[in-house]
Amino acid sequence: MGYNIPQKIIKEHLVSGEMIAGEEISIRIDQTLTQDSTGTMAYLQFEAMGIPRVKTKRSMAYIDHNTIQAGFENADDHKYIQTVTAKHGIYFSRPGNGICHQVQLERFAVPGMTLLGSDSHTPTAGGIGCLAIGAGGLDVAVAMGGGAYYLMMPKVVKINLTGKLNEWVSAKDIILEVLRKLSVKGGVGKIVEYAGEGVKYLSVPERATITNMGAELGATTSIFPSDETTREFLKAQGREQDFSEIKPDEDAVYDEELTIDLTRLEPLAAKPHSPDNVEEIKNIGKIKVDQVAIGSCTNSSYLDMMKVAKILKGRTVAPNVSLVIAPGSKQVLTMLAQNGALADMVAAGARILESACGPCIGMGQSPCTDAVSLRTFNRNFEGRSGTKSAKVYLVSPETAAVSALTGVLTDPREFGECPKVEMPEKFVAYDNMVLAPAASQEDVEVVRGPNIKPFPLNSELKEKICGKALIKVGDNITTDHIMPSNAKLLPYRSNVPYLAEFCLTPCDPDFPKRAKENGGGFIIAGSNYGQGSSREHAALAPLQLGIKGVIAKSFARIHMANLINSGILPMTFTNEADYDRIDMNDELLIENAVGQVKSGELITVINSTKGYSFEVKVSLSERQVEMILAGGLINYTRLNAK
């Protein structure tokens, strides 16, 4: 029996376990990446491990999220990351060099390698045939130290792309269609491999748009084959030596298959407030638009920006629209500046932002009250833009640019002639904003600003766990709900005690207070709890508030791993009706917790307030059981090092 692409790469990197879907495996990691808002924590954890130099083929630290510098905190964190990376063998991508995923794709990702990144959109590098996975900072710290990355062997879904896209329909519309078909939880426990004749018509950055937003499916990762298009891209980046062909075996087997006929696709939008709430633009109608934002790790490539520039050229942004554009990298921005496209954007009235995440993570450009904002980004969760009442629609760069001119949501096919953009034969590839690590550790002193506070550590699991159901939330709660990120909070990513004051406040402003008054307790949630980002702060802040366990209908992958790494027990209802029976403030009790977790069987939870008990499932590998018993990954590692 032949192998599909993920199986081939996993097999080459397998450290332990068997490649059977649902079984725990561990793999060797070739490359890692961090960004600044998860990076401070990852490097604090790396330092705590006491390993002098990273053991990967290449580890990168990007500064791209937290760049506004409204106070000293951002710059302090950047200085810390710059010095700690220089000391321990990590390459440092300076602020201004671009969004981590865009730069990694252009300059460093390698087909057939494994990449672990402390950001959920790390799978962007799947566009070049790299097996790229998002994880919590602690898992990335372990990988930097040469430790294997543990995950449940995913199922592999093949998505066949047949036919060719019509004019004005783009890669963004493909992934929006996949999201419409599979939903924001349809990819949990799965890797998506793209195949079919449609693949050859997609450039590497277009493939990367698709694998990027595979994160919104909840998928472990998404991947394209590495073919002649990949070779051409790498050659144009001056790194043809990184190319190798990666394709599935002829007789490869898949767990699921789905076909998307590209010829039938039309321009789509994800409506508020979920990336899978997808509809044809022509059916949504011409709603008035207040803001258009173009950029993010999903749609900020040279190709995307050139299409936008051509649409804007010689025209003016509608009076009711604020158009902001953030080219994804210094490479893209330089090329736009050199060929005049930047001037066309500026002349049309676009506000050019630095090459960073910016509005995607609420770092500026929050829309006005009740605004309609069209964004080429990947997430439109309620409040993520920084304005709770804003209605964010996720669209392609073409739709965004055309709508910025008309002032209403517009099907780009109405615009007229479709802009043609060729992939350049040579990109401006000059890595002068990437600093190599110091040759000797002794040469570097790590600089720590006053914003860096110690992170919370759990203690070993108690025999008896009790506490109130401190909050009860519904389905698809995102990490943006659990640990909001915006211009006010992002500067505090290395200050968990401060962040904890905002934990789950979008759902209930009193949650932190209640948690503290009760000395901690439980979180009750619906399905797909913790979808979205990789931020481990969504586990560390609850830990800081004394949360002992989360009982949910189901969990998103990275968040569940982060809970376990923090020693917080993730439990799932065996009978969903039990979710309905619990009310906030019910007193819950788990007796003989250690024995019950060890047994690997169902756990009995007593609802002392209502006088009944119910069973929950704890699906943990043996290693994860040990981690929970020890009180998280750091304690587990320390215990095992003795």
Residues that bind ligand SF4 (CB under 6 A): 65, 99, 119, 121, 296-297, 357, 360-361, 377-378
Least gap, CB of 601 to ligand MIC (angstroms): 33
Residue among 291 and 534 whose Cβ is closer to ligand MIC:
534
d(CA 153, CA 418): 43
Q: Which one of ligand MIC, ligand SF4, none is in contact with 478 (Cβ closer than 5 to 8 A by kind)?
A: none
Residue among 85 and 355 whose Cβ is closer to ligand SF4:
355
d(CA 30, CA 352): 35
- For the chain, the distance separating the N- and C-terminal CA atoms, rounded to the nearest angstrom, is 43
Least gap, CB of 292 to ligand SF4 (angstroms): 16
Residue among 74 and 534 whose Cβ is closer to ligand MIC:
534
Give the contacts of 411 (CB within 8 A, at least 6 positions apart). 168, 266, 267, 281, 282, 399
The answer to whether residues 8 and 142 touch, using CB atoms and an 8 Å cutoff, is no
Least gap, CB of 360 to ligand SF4 (angstroms): 3
Binding-site size, ligand MIC (CB under 6 A): 13
Residue among 65 and 88 whose Cβ is closer to ligand SF4:
65
Residue among 533 and 607 whose Cβ is closer to ligand MIC:
533
Give the contacts of 535 (CB within 8 A, at least 6 positions apart). 37, 38, 136, 479, 483, 485, 493, 562
Residue among 179 and 582 whose Cβ is closer to ligand SF4:
179
Residue among 82 and 230 whose Cβ is closer to ligand MIC:
82
Residue among 503 and 625 whose Cβ is closer to ligand MIC:
503
- Coil vs helix vs strand at 151: strand
d(CA 80, CA 422): 41
Residue 288: count of CB within 10 angstroms of its CB: 12
d(CA 119, CA 112): 20
Two structure tokens written together for 105: 């794709």
Least gap, CB of 537 to ligand SF4 (angstroms): 14
Q: Which one of ligand SF4, ligand MIC, none is in contact with 296 (Cβ closer than 5 to 8 A by kind)?
A: ligand SF4
Lay out the site mask for ligand MIC across 461-500 (x = CB under 6 A, - = otherwise).
------------------------x---------------
Least gap, CB of 483 to ligand MIC (angstroms): 8
Least gap, CB of 4 to ligand SF4 (angstroms): 27
Instruction: Rule CB under 6 A: say whether 38 interacts with ligand MIC.
Output: yes
The answer to whether residues 93 and 323 touch, using CB atoms and an 8 Å cutoff, is no
Give me the residue whose beta carbon is nearest to ligand MIC: 533
Lay out the site mask for ligand MIC across 105-124 (x = CB under 6 A, - = otherwise).
--------------xxx---
Least gap, CB of 392 to ligand MIC (angstroms): 13
Least gap, CB of 357 to ligand SF4 (angstroms): 3
Q: Which one of ligand MIC, ligand SF4, none is in contact with 37 (Cβ closer than 5 to 8 A by kind)?
A: ligand MIC
Could you tell me how far CA 148 lies from the centroid of its own chain? 20
Give the contacts of 466 (CB within 8 A, at least 6 positions apart). 587, 588, 589, 590, 608
Q: Which one of ligand MIC, ligand SF4, none is in contact with 534 (Cβ closer than 5 to 8 A by kind)?
A: ligand MIC
Instruction: Rule CB under 6 A: say whether 361 interacts with ligand MIC.
Output: yes
Residue among 33 and 161 whose Cβ is closer to ligand MIC:
33
Residue among 221 and 410 whose Cβ is closer to ligand MIC:
221
If we measure between CA atoms, which residue out of 635, 581, 636, 642 comes closest to residue 612? 581
Least gap, CB of 604 to ligand MIC (angstroms): 35
Instruction: Rule CB under 6 A: say whether 37 interacts with ligand MIC.
Output: yes
Q: Which of residues 524-563 bind ligand MIC (CB under 6 A)?
A: 532-535
d(CA 73, CA 494): 9
Q: Which one of ligand MIC, ligand SF4, none is in contact with 99 (Cβ closer than 5 to 8 A by kind)?
A: ligand SF4
Written in H, E and C, the secondary structure of 278-321 is EEEHHHHCCCECCEEEECCCCCCCHHHHHHHHHHHCCCCCCCCC
Sign of the four-CA dihedral 122, 9, 529, 48: negative
Residue among 43 and 62 whose Cβ is closer to ligand SF4:
62
* Token pair 């394709």 in the structure block, residue: 247
CA 567 → CA 139, 317, 540, 545, 635, distances in Å? 14, 51, 10, 13, 9
CA 637 → CA 48, 102, 163, 517, 626, distances in Å? 11, 33, 50, 32, 10
Phi, psi of 522, rounded to the nearest 5 degrees? -120, 155
Residues that bind ligand MIC in the complex, under the rule CB under 6 A:
37-38, 65, 119-121, 134, 361, 485, 532-535
